[in-house]
């Protein structure tokens, strides 16, 4: 078992000051990722341990950041020297007002399942086998063609002039499967994942059964007619649209730098009254929540949209100090990149409708279950596009045929303001976003 606490970040911090930094921040992360790939059989297991060091220094208002995975004494010394020499060469950043001044944790409970830090590949085999059996049980002609499961342990330590070292631990576990069903009418495919902090909370068999039976239901899917439809978005699709379009727009950095469509919209209505979205930064039940953010600032629960009204952007300490306010605990970074504001976990609040009610109330529509390419959309202009890979055609309140293909196009802000017709009551938790299903009125779908 690897020793996780093996470098002295206080010493590196002092070294940066000795070499001429006016202030410094040391970020150290250790992760252990165990993963297993499978199809009908267990294929390949991997164990990867990595340790990464981030050194951020300021000389006055001149900043530099150096990330290294060479943690030999020589590698660390070189990284500190490099950081100082770049900061000396850099022009002043007029927006710089120092490092995060509030370090600490909300609570440390519930973010990590200690068991994950030391399990071996054989323990993932059980998860994989259970998923495979689930898929196979749905029908004899349905097979898992690609799958993976993983268990990750992650530890972060931070020190800066205002406090620390502070440390936090998180774990995650994940199972994904993509299945193919065949019949004389053709082939159908479907894939989905389930994620949790702890392996024991995964439901691999249920996932397999669901993915297998869905794959079968999509046999013979074709592109829809080029037309305007009512769209039911499955929770994972609604979550993905919100993640792609809203996450960059609510970043205080995008707002301050003039590239968010939400500039000047605080306390303005931007969505239907039914829509409320909360960034759940500190509650461990939400994946993405952490006890402190990547600058050591405690995370929080932050209301983004309340009954259709935009209430807050998300801040790291850099953007917060520019506005003379507190960080919302939303700094995200890798060891070698500076922090930037990002949502911890956007939780879209549920409505009251069941998915059956949504289908029944749709005269001519499409129930969308998977898409590709929505990340190609433009969060600055609000132009949202996604290509359908799995959907059902609905006519007169009933599912009548599978769909594969067609491009959904909508102005995201028009969608929030006037297209949302019903919000579902069943919330699905995805990574960093959770959402109910939603029924949208009159959306253009390009097809055949």
Partner 1 sequence: MEYDLDVLYRMVKYAESLGASYAEARFHRYSYELVRADNGSLKDYSVTSRAGFGVRVLYNNRIGFSATNSTNTEDLMSAVQNAVAAAKASKKQVTLAERPYVKGKRTPNVRVDPFSVPPEEKIRIALETNRAGLGVEGIRSSITMLGIQRDFRSVVSSDAEVTWEVVLVGISHTSVAGEAGSMERLHDSRSMASGWEFIQNNDWEGFARDISMTAKKALKAPTPPPGRMRVVMDPDLVGLLLHEAFGHASEGDLVASGTSILKDKIGMRVASEIVTIVDDGLAMGGYPVPYDDEGNPKERTVIVEKGVLRGYLTDRASAPLLGVGVTGNGRAQDFENAPIVRQTNIYMEPGEWGVEEQIREARNGLYLSGRGAGGGQVDTGAGTFTFSAGPSYFIRNGEIGEMVKGVVISGYILETLKSVEAVGKDLRIRTSVFGGCGKNGQLVRVGDGGPHIMVREIIVGGR
Using the contact rule CB under 8 A, the part of the chain among 66-74, 196-204, 296-304, 421-429 near partner 1 is 66-74
- Taking the complex as a whole, the smallest distance from the CB of residue 228 to partner 1 amounts, in Å, to 9
Reduced to 3 states (helix: H, G, I; strand: E, B; else coil), residue 383 is strand
Q: Which of 137, 139, 141, 336 binds partner 1 (CB under 8 A)?
A: 336
Integer Cα distance of 125 and 437 in angstroms: 33
Residues 261-320, interacting with partner 1 (CB under 8 A): 261
Measuring CA to CA, which residue among 103, 21, 25, 105 is closest to residue 61?
Answer: 21
Residue 399 as a binder of partner 1 (CB under 8 A): the answer is: no
Tokens representing 248 are 């960059």
Residue 70 as a binder of partner 1 (CB under 8 A): the answer is: yes
Q: Which of 11, 200, 257, 285 binds partner 1 (CB under 8 A)?
A: 257
Phi-psi region of 160 (alpha: psi -120 to 50; beta: other; left: phi over 0): beta
- Residues in the interface with partner 1 (CB under 8 A) total 92
Residue found under tokens 């519930």:
110
Tokens representing 352 are 């009251």
Residue 63 as a binder of partner 1 (CB under 8 A): the answer is: yes
Integer Cα distance of 173 and 175 in angstroms: 7
Pairing label, strands 407-411, 438-446? antiparallel
Identify which of residues 219 and 278 has a Cβ nearer to partner 1 in the complex. 219
Question: From residue 57, how far is each of 100, 310, 319, 336, 366 by CA, in Å?
Answer: 13, 35, 18, 12, 53
Identify which of residues 178 and 276 has a Cβ nearer to partner 1 in the complex. 178
Residue 115 as a binder of partner 1 (CB under 8 A): the answer is: no
Using the contact rule CB under 8 A, the part of the chain among 116-124, 294-302, 357-365, 424-432 near partner 1 is 116-124
Measuring CA to CA, which residue among 216, 136, 183 is closest to residue 390?
Answer: 216
Residue 220 as a binder of partner 1 (CB under 8 A): the answer is: no
Residues 161-180, interacting with partner 1 (CB under 8 A): 178, 180
Measuring CA to CA, which residue among 234, 238, 225, 223 is closest to residue 415?
Answer: 238
Residue 426 as a binder of partner 1 (CB under 8 A): the answer is: no
The b/e string for 190-204 (b: 16+ C-beta within 10 A; e otherwise) is bbbbbbbbbbeebbb
Tokens representing 364 are 């001519």
Residue 51 as a binder of partner 1 (CB under 8 A): the answer is: yes
Q: Which of 19, 115, 322, 407 binds partner 1 (CB under 8 A)?
A: 407
Asked if residue 361 has a cis previous peptide bond (ω within 30° of 0), the answer is no
Q: Which of 85, 105, 141, 361 binds partner 1 (CB under 8 A)?
A: 85
Residue 83 as a binder of partner 1 (CB under 8 A): the answer is: yes
Identify which of residues 36 and 199 has a Cβ nearer to partner 1 in the complex. 36
Residue 142 as a binder of partner 1 (CB under 8 A): the answer is: no
Residue 73 as a binder of partner 1 (CB under 8 A): the answer is: no
Reduced to 3 states (helix: H, G, I; strand: E, B; else coil), residue 326 is coil
Residue 322 as a binder of partner 1 (CB under 8 A): the answer is: no
Rg of the Cα atoms in the chain: 24
- Taking the complex as a whole, the smallest distance from the CB of residue 102 to partner 1 amounts, in Å, to 22
Question: From residue 163, how far is each of 196, 214, 397, 428 by CA, in Å?
Answer: 31, 51, 59, 38
Q: Which of 29, 152, 173, 189 binds partner 1 (CB under 8 A)?
A: 189
Residue 139 as a binder of partner 1 (CB under 8 A): the answer is: no
Tokens representing 448 are 């055949």
Residue 389 as a binder of partner 1 (CB under 8 A): the answer is: yes
- Taking the complex as a whole, the smallest distance from the CB of residue 167 to partner 1 amounts, in Å, to 20
Give the helix ranges, DSSP H, for 182-226: 204-217
Give the number of residues written for the chain.
448
- Taking the complex as a whole, the smallest distance from the CB of residue 365 to partner 1 amounts, in Å, to 17
Residue 432 as a binder of partner 1 (CB under 8 A): the answer is: no
- Taking the complex as a whole, the smallest distance from the CB of residue 242 to partner 1 amounts, in Å, to 18
- Taking the complex as a whole, the smallest distance from the CB of residue 397 to partner 1 amounts, in Å, to 26
Integer Cα distance of 181 and 188 in angstroms: 5
Q: Which of 94, 140, 264, 324 binds partner 1 (CB under 8 A)?
A: 94
Identify which of residues 407 and 427 has a Cβ nearer to partner 1 in the complex. 407
Identify which of residues 2 and 107 has a Cβ nearer to partner 1 in the complex. 2
**Sequence-ordered list of residues with C-beta below 8 angstroms from that of 71, at least 6 positions apart, any chain:** 7, 51, 53
- According to DSSP, residue 418 is labeled I
Residue 409 as a binder of partner 1 (CB under 8 A): the answer is: yes
Identify which of residues 31 and 196 has a Cβ nearer to partner 1 in the complex. 31
Q: Which of 124, 177, 202, 271 binds partner 1 (CB under 8 A)?
A: 124
Residue 44 as a binder of partner 1 (CB under 8 A): the answer is: yes
Integer Cα distance of 421 and 438 in angstroms: 8
The Cα angle at residue 303 between residues 298 and 306, in degrees rounded to 5? 175
Residue 362 as a binder of partner 1 (CB under 8 A): the answer is: no
């Amino acid at each position: 078992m690897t020793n996780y606490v093996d470098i002295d970040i206080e010493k590196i911090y002092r070294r940066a000051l000795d070499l001429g930094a006016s202030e410094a921040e040391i970020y150290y992360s250790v992760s252990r990722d165990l993963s297993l790939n499978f199809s009908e059989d267990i294929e390949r297991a991997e164990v990867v341990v990595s340790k990464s060091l981030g050194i951020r220094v300021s000389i006055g208002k001149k900043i530099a950041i150096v990330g290294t995975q060479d943690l030999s004494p020589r590698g660390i010394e070189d990284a500190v020297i490099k950081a100082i020499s770049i900061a000396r060469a850099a022009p002043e950043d007029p927006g710089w007002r120092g490092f995060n001044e509030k370090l600490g944790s909300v609570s440390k409970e519930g973010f990590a399942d200690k068991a994950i830090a030391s399990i071996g590949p054989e323990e993932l085999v059980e998860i994989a086998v259970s998923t495979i059996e689930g898929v196979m049980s749905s029908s004899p002609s349905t097979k898992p063609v690609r799958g993976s499961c993983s268990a990750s342990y992650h530890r972060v330590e931070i020190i800066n002039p205002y406090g620390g070292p502070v440390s936090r631990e998180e774990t995650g576990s994940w199972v994904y499967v993509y299945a193919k069903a065949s019949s004389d009418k053709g082939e159908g495919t479907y894939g989905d994942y389930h994620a949790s902090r702890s392996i024991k909370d995964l439901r691999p068999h249920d996932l397999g059964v669901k993915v297998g039976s869905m794959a079968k239901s999509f046999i013979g899917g074709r592109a829809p007619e080029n037309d305007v439809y009512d769209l039911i978005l499955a929770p994972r699709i609604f979550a993905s649209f919100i993640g792609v379009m809203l996450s960059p727009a609510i970043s205080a950095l995008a707002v301050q730098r003039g590239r968010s469509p939400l500039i000047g919209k605080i306390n303005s209505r931007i969505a239907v009254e039914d829509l409320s979205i909360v960034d759940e930064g500190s509650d461990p039940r939400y994946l993405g929540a952490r006890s402190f953010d990547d600058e050591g600032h405690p995370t929080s629960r932050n209301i983004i949209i309340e009954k259709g009204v935009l209430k807050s952007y998300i801040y790291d300490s850099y953007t917060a100090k520019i506005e003379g306010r507190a960080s919302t605990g939303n700094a995200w970074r890798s060891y070698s990149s500076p922090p930037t504001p990002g949502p911890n976990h956007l939780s879209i609040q549920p409505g009251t409708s069941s998915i059956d009610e949504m289908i029944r109330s749709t005269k001519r529509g499409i129930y969308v279950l998977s898409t590709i390419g929505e990340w190609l959309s433009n969060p600055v202009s609000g132009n949202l596009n996604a290509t359908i890979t799995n959907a059902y055609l609905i006519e007169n309140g009933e599912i009548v045929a599978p769909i594969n293909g067609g491009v959904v196009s909508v102005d995201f802000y028009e969608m929030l303001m006037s297209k949302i017709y019903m919000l579902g009551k069943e919330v699905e938790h995805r990574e960093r976003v959770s959402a109910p299903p939603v029924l949208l009125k009159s959306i253009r779908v390009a097809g055949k």
